[in-house]
Amino acid sequence: MDSALLSIVLIVFLFLLLATGLWVALTLALVGVLGIALSSQASPGAVFATSVWGASSSWTLTALPLFIWMGEILFRTRLSADMFAGLAPWLGRLPGRLLHVNVIGSGIFAAVSGSSLATAATIGRMSLPELNKRGYDPYMSIGSLAGSGTLGLMIPPSIIMIVYGVAAEQSIPKLFIAGVLPGIALVILFSGYIAVWALLNPSKVPPDDLKVSLKTKILSTLRLLPIISLIVAVIGSIYLGIATATEAAAVGVLGSLILAALSGALTWNSLSDSIMSAMKTSCMIALILSCAAFLGLAMDYSGVPRLLAEWITGMNLSPVHLIAYLTVLFIILGCFIDGISIVVIVSSIILPAIKLAGIDLIWFGIYLVLVVEMSLITPPVGMNLFLLQGMTGKSLAFVSRASFPFFILLVLAVALIWYVPGLATWLPSKMMS
């Protein structure tokens, strides 16, 4: 079959299968089998076995289940209550007051979670009842939590960064470091928007009812020390070159077990639940990655990445136009498939064209995380939207409307890292040299 026609067949087949709702891993495997069958005499079974072994035997990949388990352990502690108590006394004077707890609390928890859903659920189960009780606008309460929950993907240790690093063969520590400044920028964007909204809508923000002394504020801040210590131990060890991502993940699991035990949340049931939940998530991601590796090899046999790269080159697109078109494509994809699937599909098909365009792959990883964050708050399959719908009892339309301003802020963040690429590349270049 002609290579161009084969490319069209495989890409159409891929999106048709995804549209049916078939498991992503199975979809990737079936497209890979078809690609090899139509383009090579090689045995699909042998190629599958070789590629799966190569993808699943990566030492770097061992950090993934450990970071997932760490987040699951902490999710079952009283961490959210401690963070609310530690942050709330300091935020009462800011425009927007306690709404900033959603943003800053999510930023802190993201630094030990790596998961957007865990971040939104942990912060939301404490902040939403408190905000509702004090009379805060439900649109902003829910919207700020939906948007801030996406910080779980950007602020390291990020599960999606590990997936991208393994699929794109990039350094996990460099990706983690690259996510720090964009993560801080997102926190500033989200809190800045809340402050501006509060100044424009003063009637929707209740008065400051947390009149506490400086001594009480300082004492309340002590409740943040355990989580801050864990962040320093995990992320600091990576940044300083003391530990690899996998070793830091092991430290994180040990630290989270200690915190859970000290808080009284470590029981046999909570431990077994955290292990089973982490195992399910890890197996799902590992299966997708394995099948994506097979698809990537099948695409190499068929020549799809080469043809796609030649096609993009022939269009004479500038890098800025390429990124603009890809952003629109990824936003559309995010309406129908999850973020991990977007990452592995991009790594299998589009990455060669990105390399040919001369775009830094560490920068592209951070960009990809941003557009995947968008997919978490875009209907109809935005996972943060479903989570908050279940937590609040509001309709999906209500949660989607509340989240829309934060979707726009994520689009703005894409433009920001394009015009200021040093946000994603400066720290890795300084700290990993």
Give DSSP secondary structure letters for 360-377.
-HHHHHHHHHHHHHHHTT
d(CA 246, CA 142): 34
Q: Cβ(278)–Cβ(65) under 8 Å?
A: yes
Helices and strands, number each (H, E), in the chain: 24, 0
Reduce the DSSP state of residue 140 to 3 states and report it: helix
Q: For residues 34 and 280, what is the distance between their CA atoms, to the nearest angstrom?
A: 28
Cα distance between residue 293 and residue 348, in whole Å: 7
Q: Omega of the bond prior to 129 within 30 degrees of 0, cis?
A: no
How far does CA 256 lie from the centroid of its chain?
20
- Answer whether 154's CB lies under 8 Å from 365's CB: no
Type of residue numbered 166: V
Q: Judge whether 367 and 179 are in contact, CB under 8 Å.
A: no
The structure tokens listed for 362 are 């560490």
Pairwise CA distance, residues 424 & 264, whole Å: 39
- Reference 186, options 426, 366, 3; nearest CA is 366
Residue type for position 300 = D
For residue 204, CA distances in Å to 41, 97, 137, 275, 404 come to 67, 11, 6, 42, 18
Spatial contact of 397 and 343, defined as CB atoms under 8 Å apart: no
Q: What is the DSSP letter of 59?
A: S
Residue 25 and residue 31 in contact, taking contact as beta carbons nearer than 8 Å: no
What domain range is 135 assigned to?
3-431
Tell me the HSE value of 150 on the side-chain side, using a 13 A CA sphere.
31
Which DSSP symbol is given to 57? T
Among 306, 290, 281, CA closest to 28: 290
First and final C-alpha spacing in the chain? 47
Which SS3 state, helix, strand or coil, does residue 379 take? coil
215 C-beta neighbours (distance < 10 Å), count: 8
Tens of each residue's pLDDT in the chain, 433 residues:
566 677 778 778 877 887 777 777 888 888 888 888 887 777 888 878 877 777 677 676 788 888 888 888 887 887 777 777 788 778 777 898 889 988 998 888 888 777 787 788 888 888 888 888 888 899 999 999 999 988 888 888 888 898 888 888 888 889 988 999 999 999 999 999 999 999 999 888 887 766 777 777 788 888 888 888 888 888 888 877 788 888 888 988 998 899 888 888 888 898 999 899 888 888 887 887 788 778 777 777 766 666 766 676 667 777 888 888 888 888 877 776 777 777 877 777 788 778 877 889 999 999 999 988 888 888 766 778 888 888 888 888 899 899 999 999 999 999 999 999 999 999 888 765 4
How many domains in the chain? 1
Q: What is the DSSP letter of 158?
A: P
| SS3 call for 159 | helix
**How many beta carbons lie within 10 A of that of residue 59, not counting itself?**
9
